[in-house]
Structure 1
């Protein structure tokens, strides 16, 4: 697994004599703001001849500059009050795509600074956007070993950004591979093996639970989802446990549950009318958490402990499939009536969170999270944005707002939703036979509060509801729904984004 490496370039002579760089990409909101006279004059002269220069991405033949190629990637509408740093990423993607198409294999990226605070991470975002644009699916890379010619990008900066950005990118690449690969190549078994390979020799402790009897006993809701897949050995479920412990005194502990539904047929409540297309990406939450752990293993932040569990299952159709109306008792001893087998992700997460809840009770300054491509409602509500739904403890501590601040800086915007009393009313089992109802029997996209009330279910089914603000041991919990942000481009087969790896990494490190 080879990801894009970012190299710090501080010597301005590299812009002119190349030093092995074969193209210069300039991402700028204004040609006049380019600091290097030769580059600025060259671009302004080209703009006087061709009015497209500075308005659209342009490749200029530039003898005397790196590789003889100057690519101007304009940042458009930077003066618009409602734009954010993503416009730099969009410009950088256009620039790197042009460099790649031109035959460049080792481009140098120059991002012109802006004085506006909202663009303060423009260099970081631009660099990561280049890597996002260059990513190719694992299946293609395994079949065509030369399909990604650019593996190194020079980043002209006076700061030492390269190491951190390379670490973030290696995590994002792992997340993209895990999320974006088809369900046979990246079955639950292969997903766990890919993680084992990725973390081999690293700072991450990894354990894979593969015993079906043990899974059935300790993860009953998860195993209910996987029940129909157990007849097919290659579709067997897995739980992957990951743990990182930084050097020094631990001051904060983070717990992550990742939804890894390898393929979601909808189960007995089968997805119809083409609704299964793209459901191999329903493992994006587990993929993002794995990517986060990979980046942490490289950066090795001190004073933090991070624990994760990834629930990997296939929601298959068959004679042994779990069905609506069943009552299954969760790991937290909560009787759950199944309201719809296509609402399977919350079942997987609830058992994971229950295990993490127990561990969090004796941890230092614990915070719990679930990360999942959970609902169509979040897409209906927020489009391509991530949503975070907090329990009362997390909201009191301002966790969602803090994470939202980091996400805004790193071009992974998050919308904060509120958990309300109606959300708990929606999960009451009318019969009284079960303690909670997992879902209604309609699509989340057409259900009022369709992405908020699953957080209420998670709290109840995992036992976290007993750790509210007024309890003896309050535990902050935040549910992160990435159904709208996990993939860009084509809704079914676009490129995985690895959201919100960059935001979570920086939140964990910086607080």
Structure 2
């Protein structure tokens, strides 16, 4: 799983010279005057006199005075307005690195111009590197079918900085993001539940993360009854049979934080008996984005091995198929936590998978040091409608008191992986209340989440009830912080779930919050 590794350059004069190891220089700046190097400023200014595009759009210039004879100037625009953030630099880096690659560069150097003296831009160089890697990634199917070195030719990316840059941390984060993109973005047969599990086992082989996979149908039926119900119509097809993947990392020294993460891994979502129609099934192989992000974050931990952190992840890799044995609305299924769940709509399958995973993780959390629980999922169209390309963090009372969501949002802003927080309200619990004594909770309504009031908040209330986490509120003897993370809007670039690149959100935000640099 090769990708361009980051390497720091502190001597800019030599780094940009034709004698250096770099074969292109990429300059990201608001304007030419913000470039703190006479050679680069003169080269770009001279070209600007002949080319009116310079300073308005990303342009490649041929110049024998710089490394590789290639100079790319990518304007980042005005960064002084309240609305501007580090993604301006990320977007420019994506355009520039593709231009450099297409021109034949395999070892480009990134150079930043003057930036606002603000915490919001403190990680701009690192964000530019991660954005460049995002732009250069090619789908797993393409890498397996074609020559990987030809379609992903860039070998390394230089980062000019006079201040220290933790390249090991950056490389660990990008390794996790790359795994997340591979798992999320791969078509449903190549990344069916068994193959999803196999790919994880390969990715973590020989690492600091212990991997175990549950494949036995009887065990899944007994210990993950809601998850198994979703998979019921797929169990007779061997290559589609469900898997639960458990990943465990324990850092050295006293444990300061225990993270417990549940990942929704619907490898394909037909909607089940409540079948998706009118073309809405296209792109549903990416309904495993939450599980992919969880696995990616665990790989980042495995690569960097931070001290004082323990993390346990459970991933439900399941295909929601349609068939004679499909589960249907009105069924009442007892969850792992013993909660009687009435099925409202079979296309609200992800929360069923997550509920059983969370119930197991809840048991781990009760014995853990400083636990925080998370569920990560492409769960609702409402999250995308409400927040656009931002990750939605929905907190219970204990998580809100611990500032879980806000901390992730603040760090996400700095690292180009932004989000928005939501609060659980009484209406959310009322929405999934039982309508009779036959059941304890309702899984969903029958309307589209995007047009349902509080459509991304009430599923978190259901998850609290169905997993037993409602017994661990602030007023309980053992409160457990729980944050539901909905990446339906942030999981792919541009919102095209069939064709766009997976974003690997929120791997970077999680790493910034819970993977402290050495």
Smaller-chain TM-score bracket: over 0.9
Task: Find the aligned partners of 1:471 and 1:161 in 2 and give their Cα distance.
Answer: 41
Does the 8 Å CA contact 1:24/1:108 hold for their aligned counterparts?
yes
Equivalent of 1:431 in 430, 436, 440: 436
Question: How do 1:49-64 and structure 2 match up within 5 A?
Answer: 49-64=50-65
1:11-46 deviation line (CA, Å, top 9, x unaligned) = 320211342211000111221121111111111222
Deviation of the 1:118 alpha carbon: 1.5
- For the residue of structure 2 that corresponds to 1:275, the secondary structure is coil
- For the residue of structure 2 that corresponds to 1:388, the secondary structure is strand
Equivalent of 1:223 in 210, 228, 235: 228
Does the 8 Å CA contact 1:265/1:271 hold for their aligned counterparts?
yes
1:189-209 deviation line (CA, Å, top 9, x unaligned) = 001000000000100011011
Change beyond 3 A, Cα 1:334–1:505: same
Give the alignment's TM-score, normalised by structure 1: 0.98
Q: Which runs of 5+ in 2 are unaligned?
A: none
Does the 8 Å CA contact 1:155/1:162 hold for their aligned counterparts?
no
Moved runs in structure 1, 4+ residues, more than 6 A? none
Deviation of the 1:128 alpha carbon: 0.5
- For the residue of structure 2 that corresponds to 1:340, the secondary structure is coil
1:362-395 deviation line (CA, Å, top 9, x unaligned) = 1000000000000011111111111000001111
Deviation of the 1:302 alpha carbon: 0.3
- For the residue of structure 2 that corresponds to 1:16, the secondary structure is coil
Matched, 1:83 2:84: yes
Deviation of the 1:350 alpha carbon: 0.3
Matched, 1:71 2:52: no
- For the residue of structure 2 that corresponds to 1:84, the secondary structure is coil
Does the 8 Å CA contact 1:34/1:112 hold for their aligned counterparts?
yes
Q: In structure 1, what is the equivalent of residue 200 of structure 2?
A: 195
Q: In structure 2, what is the equivalent of residue 151 of structure 1?
A: 155
Question: How do 1:34-49 and structure 2 match up within 5 A?
Answer: 34-49=35-50
Matched, 1:239 2:241: no
Equivalent of 1:503 in 500, 506, 509: 509
Matched, 1:277 2:279: no
Equivalent of 1:253 in 250, 253, 258: 258
Task: Find the aligned partners of 1:255 and 1:116 in 2 and give their Cα distance.
Answer: 33
Q: In structure 1, what is the equivalent of residue 184 of structure 2?
A: 179
Question: How do 1:353-372 and structure 2 match up within 5 A?
Answer: 353-372=358-377
1:163-201 deviation line (CA, Å, top 9, x unaligned) = 221111111000000000000000010010000000001
Task: Find the aligned partners of 2:437 and 2:345 in 1 and give their Cα distance.
Answer: 17
Q: In structure 2, what is the equivalent of residue 418 of structure 1?
A: 423
Deviation of the 1:449 alpha carbon: 0.6
Deviation of the 1:2 alpha carbon: 1.4
Q: In structure 1, what is the equivalent of residue 389 of structure 2?
A: 384
- For the residue of structure 2 that corresponds to 1:496, the secondary structure is coil
Q: What is the aligned length?
A: 511
Change beyond 3 A, Cα 1:375–1:18: farther
Does the 8 Å CA contact 1:387/1:480 hold for their aligned counterparts?
yes
Matched, 1:493 2:499: yes
1:94-143 deviation line (CA, Å, top 9, x unaligned) = 10011011111111111224123321111111110000000100000111
1:421-457 deviation line (CA, Å, top 9, x unaligned) = 0000000121331000000011111111100000000
Question: How do 1:282-293 and structure 2 match up within 5 A?
Answer: 282-293=287-298
Task: Find the aligned partners of 2:475 and 2:516 in 1 and give their Cα distance.
Answer: 28
Task: Find the aligned partners of 2:201 and 2:11 in 1 and give their Cα distance.
Answer: 39
Considering only aligned residues, what root-mean-square deviation do their CA atoms show, in Å? 1.1
Does the 8 Å CA contact 2:264/2:317 hold for their aligned counterparts?
yes
Deviation of the 1:413 alpha carbon: 1.0
Change beyond 3 A, Cα 1:499–1:106: same
Does the 8 Å CA contact 2:341/2:466 hold for their aligned counterparts?
yes
Q: In structure 2, what is the equivalent of residue 467 of structure 1?
A: 472
- For the residue of structure 2 that corresponds to 1:165, the secondary structure is helix
Task: Find the aligned partners of 1:344 and 1:78 in 2 and give their Cα distance.
Answer: 42
Question: How do 1:392-411 and structure 2 match up within 5 A?
Answer: 392-411=397-416
- For the residue of structure 1 that corresponds to 2:277, the secondary structure is coil
Equivalent of 2:167 in 149, 162, 168: 162
Q: Which runs of 5+ in 1 are unaligned?
A: none
Q: In structure 1, what is the equivalent of residue 9 of structure 2?
A: 9
Q: In structure 2, what is the equivalent of residue 122 of structure 1?
A: 124
Does the 8 Å CA contact 1:4/1:169 hold for their aligned counterparts?
no
